[in-house]
Structure 1
Amino acid sequence: MNLAFTNKTVIVTGAAHGFGRAIVIAFAQRGAVVWGVDLIEDELRETQRLAGANCTVCRLDVRDKHAVDAVVASASSATGRVDVLVNNAGGVLGQVGRPLEDVTAEQWQAIFDVNVGGAFFFSQAVAPGMKAARFGRIINISSGAGLGISLTGIQAYAAAKAAQIGLTRQLAHELGAWGITVNNIAPGFVRSNATTEKQWESYGAAGQQALVDRIALKKLGTVDDIAHGVLFFASELAGWITGQVLSIDGGK
């Protein structure tokens, strides 16, 4: 299956490493004009180098609505719209699992602002252009934690990813009349960045084996497995699929 995105404009958030970097590269290799955004500037520049000439990067905090609006305006300047938006920015922001009563209001809100607020602001910004074109693809990257529980034990992360899935379904119904699809990918555990490497190491040999044993395919996935799911949802092959959650987790 050869998916092409020639002359399509794509924005990927959380593009500095991991899933985001793999998604940027996958679209750039298939002809898209890709904008990668993230807060981590040095790693973002490496993403740009790996993706090549079709990639533009911008340091941006997805919680800043004015900055989001400005980037969307810049990205859409060539074609008048953004064709594909991938809301990948998120994570636990360096937090660790702690008892419910020890979680501060600021810790709780910070995770929601990045994982849900950022996806909302970007979707809000691209919607007018997609409506005018009567075409668009919005793909949100949640987590298996949004469908079950978080391996990290971080309450806000599990709740925020579940909220993002709810936002996906709501926007799918709101935007469907304009030919805009909104879908969600819920990855399983993938060793994709420094945070997941630290998490993996914390399990020890026995815990690592137990995690793998719970996977039907008996192996961990890769960042490219997640990127391939995004390419599918962004393609014409998924033109009559919206409001759906695709678990890419090796089978649970």
Structure 2
Amino acid sequence: MKIEFPGQSVIVSGAAHGFGRAIAQAFAARGARVYACDIRTGSLAETVQGGAGQLQAAGLDVTDRAAVEALVQRVVNETGRVDVVVNNAGGVLGQVGRPLEQVSPAEWQAIFDVNVNGAFWLSQAAAPHMKARKYGRIVNISSGAGLGVSLTGIQAYASAKAAQIGLTRQLAHELGEFGITVNNVAPGFVRSNPTTERQWESYGPEGQQRLLQNIALKRLGSPDDIAHAVLFFASEYAGWVSGQVLSVDGGK
């Protein structure tokens, strides 16, 4: 199976590190013109420098609807098309698990703003351009937390990722008649960024071993494992696949 994207325009949010960086670089290596987006512009430079092909950085706060619309319009102005959108921006925003009565409204809302609203704004902005060409691929990056219980213990994170999965299924039915597929990758625990490194260290040797024993393959995955699932959903091999959630977690 050879997957390539020559001439296609791809937008990847949350591309400053981890999954987003691996996804952006994977598309660029396969011929796509990639806009790697993130609010952390300094780290985006590392994504671009470590990539190949047509990979460029684009500062973006996905919670800013106007900024999202401007970015999509820029891509259309420069390339004439938007073929693939990968909604990877998200995470826990530095929060840690606490009893629910200690969670402030602002903390709850912040996680929803990035993980759910951001995916909605970017999909909403790209959809008219995809509809016009009768083609498009939207891939959302959720989490195993959206399908079960979050290892972080963060209520908003588990809820937001579940909401993103619901959004995936709803948009798949709304956009399918226009040749647009919408799918979701639900990663398991991967040491992919400073937050997951801190989480891994917090488990200690015994906790780390328990986590590994609960994985069928008895090992952690890598950001590239997540990128490969995204490439499949964005490829012609997944042309009749939509509204699906693919758990990439080593087997649970």
TM-score normalised over the length of structure 2:
0.99
1:28 aligns with 2:16: no
Per the TM alignment, residue 76 of structure 1 is displaced from its structure 2 partner at its CA by: 1.7
Is contact 1:186-1:247 (8 Å) kept? yes
1:189 aligns with 2:202: no
In 2, the alpha carbon distance for the partners of 1:11 and 1:5 equals 13
Per the TM alignment, residue 75 of structure 1 is displaced from its structure 2 partner at its CA by: 1.0
Greater CA deviation, 195-204 or 37-46? 37-46
Residue 226 of structure 1 is matched in structure 2 by 226
Residue 106 of structure 2 is matched in structure 1 by 106
Task: Give unpaired runs (5+ residues) of structure 2.
Answer: none
Per the TM alignment, residue 2 of structure 1 is displaced from its structure 2 partner at its CA by: 1.6
In 2, the alpha carbon distance for the partners of 1:80 and 1:112 equals 31
In 2, the alpha carbon distance for the partners of 1:73 and 1:143 equals 29
Per the TM alignment, residue 132 of structure 1 is displaced from its structure 2 partner at its CA by: 0.5
Is contact 2:29-2:53 (8 Å) kept? no
CA RMSD of aligned residues (A): 0.7
- Give the aligned residue type for 2:51: A
1:245 aligns with 2:245: yes
Residue 96 of structure 2 is matched in structure 1 by 96
Superposed counterparts of 1:143-154, under 5 Å:
143-154=143-154
In 2, the alpha carbon distance for the partners of 1:174 and 1:109 equals 26
- Give the aligned residue type for 1:183: N
Report the secondary structure of 1:190's partner residue: coil
Residue 82 of structure 2 is matched in structure 1 by 82
Question: For 1:82-139, what per-residue CA distance to the aligned partner results, in whole angstroms no more than 9, with x for missing partners?
Answer: 1000000000000010001000000000000000000000000000010000000000
In 1, the alpha carbon distance for the partners of 2:148 and 2:196 equals 18
Q: In percent, how many aligned pairs have the same letter?
A: 68
In 2, the alpha carbon distance for the partners of 1:47 and 1:161 equals 25
Per the TM alignment, residue 53 of structure 1 is displaced from its structure 2 partner at its CA by: 4.4
Length, aligned pairs only: 252
Residue 70 of structure 1 is matched in structure 2 by 70
Greater CA deviation, 142-151 or 70-79? 70-79
Report the secondary structure of 1:111's partner residue: helix
- Give the aligned residue type for 1:4: E
- Give the aligned residue type for 1:145: A
Report the secondary structure of 1:186's partner residue: strand
Greater CA deviation, 73-82 or 13-22? 73-82
Per the TM alignment, residue 79 of structure 1 is displaced from its structure 2 partner at its CA by: 3.7
Per the TM alignment, residue 50 of structure 1 is displaced from its structure 2 partner at its CA by: 1.1
Report the secondary structure of 2:77's partner residue: coil
Report the secondary structure of 1:76's partner residue: helix
